[in-house]
Structure 1
Amino acid sequence: MKARVILKGLALMLSLTLLGYLFNASDLGSSVNEAWIDARVRGHGVNGALLFLLMGGLFTAIGLPRQIIAFLGGYAFSVGLGTLLGALAALLGCMLSFAYARFFGQGLLRARLGERAGRFDRFIHDHPFPMTVLIRLLPVGSNLLTNLAAGISSIRSVHFFSGTLLGYLPQALVFALVGSGVHIAPMLKIALAIGLFVISGALGAYLYHRFRHGQSLDPQIDAALDETEPSPHEPTTKS
């Protein structure tokens, strides 16, 4: 897995950590907090959790990174509950964009994403559930485009949704931990989150190379995860 893939994930993680600091330390962050998280979610029991799920689902359905929702889940709830609700909110967003593609966007999306959907079909054809888990573990790729491509593919929704939820959990845990107020040293919390992120990403990259069996989910993903693959402009040498 290329260093720049890890660095992009760490940059997102550190930026969210800074956002959490601003929430607590600045007037602007405090007003944002009180305007939504503190006023409508935190401490509001089931109603707050349902509102979080609804808003998180809607935002991820239109392309907001699911890691941000997990971060806010960790901020609003405990690490455990924030992880679960962050993953469920992202799953709801996945369901919404998947359903849109499957029932309303076939014509337009097939014209634009038909090739990607075909690659997705071939990639998951034999083992749809485990291959969906694998895709969600990858630290690269577009969550929204994957949802839309799956919607116009032949995959059964039960396989896609169950595999998606399981695959979402590791990164949801990482970013909920970053966003949480868990009472451990801040640097230790960040170091733990970084370690979990690297492990999760490395596992996804390993499984991708191990089980794709010559299929390609996306050329850009292949390039990002394969450090040894020569570029199209570089001559190959025979041993």
Structure 2
Amino acid sequence: MKVYFAGFGPGDPELLTLKAYGLLKEADLIIYPGSLISEDALSEFEAEKVNSHGMKLEEIIDLIENAVKSGKKVVRLQSGDPSIYGAIAEQTRELEKRGIEYEIIPGVSSIFASAASLKAELTMPGVAEFVFVGRPKGRTLDEDYLDVVAPLPCTIVILLGVDKIRYVAEKVAEVRGKDEPAAVVYHASREDEKVITGTLADIADKVEAEGIKRTAVIIIGKALKKEGRRSVLYG
């Protein structure tokens, strides 16, 4: 038996992949991050459910190991896509030490759900040639390199940092100017989704007025204006 790390997507159950859905239906044990995914969202799945919020890494790995050795199908659920701030590397390293096989099932990231809600393309010829994904510096990060990235022709996506929206806006505005388009999407794809658009001059005020402090994606860049040259694809 092996454990499956499955991306649950941004929140809309219809954005769960067919493969992840099938695994959840067959699972004997689902370990999920309760601070990001509610147990109500898993109500149709009959497996035993364990909320990993507050558990130490060793406790999670012990739980997985015992279940797998008992012949149970285990799904370790991740919000969004496991490869984006999923903290799976530390988990898989421990599983490898114990000789436990695993498979990673991708999911829809909140990045892409947010872009869809904005009806925006994050990359545009001559406007944004690539996407930078990061988070602002803080307790666990010494430097965020926003001043290095800001001059480049890219769309800036910030995760895990809406509580620092004013700092992010001011730092990027030092390079791009206050008229740079900016948006924040709270709970992308969910029923209580909020989409806030503006510029680096006013986005912080708008977000703070809504009381948004977590679970939101910040997107900054001229691609949000949806103006650019035609692509070669349709040339």
Give the TM-score category using the shorter length: under 0.3
TM-score by length of 1: 0.26
Instruction: Considering fraction of residues, name the structure with more helix.
Output: 1
Instruction: Considering fraction of residues, name the structure with more strand.
Output: 2
Higher RCO (Cα < 8 Å, 6 or more apart): 1
